[in-house]
Homo-oligomer: A and B are copies of this chain.
Amino acid sequence: MQMFAKKRIEILIERAVLKRLTEELERTGVSGYSVAPLAGGRGRAGRWEADGQIGDAAGMFALWCIVDAARLDELLQVVFAIVARQVGLVSVSDVQVVRPERF
């Protein structure tokens, strides 16, 4: 099958901020995104675990978004406007898809 190159942005983000991020992404008109729960991790803010958390703020998610390379910069700007001040991490990688018109 013929494959077409796209970019995959992955954002690790706190539960409290997830809704803002998805609303902002929708406003830019991304074709879609996916969110998966994290079970724990470690970063500059120390170590954390999802198990047992009782607060509304607890927990982090990995959100990823497959987009056309042409839109990458615009989206990164949007993402950083929200994520920069928060606990989190943004990374980009290359992927290939079959139906390029979807992204």
Contacts and interface: CB of A to CB of B under 8 A. Distances in A.
B38 A36 contact: yes
Contact of A76 (B8, B60, B98): B98
Given A89-B66, A93-B95, A39 B43 contact: no
Contact of A92 (B3, B47, B73, B80): B3
Interface residues of A, number: 43
A87 B54 CA distance: 32
Contacts of A33: 41-42
Contact of A90 (B32, B35, B97): B97
Given A91-B97, A95-B92, A36 B34 contact: no
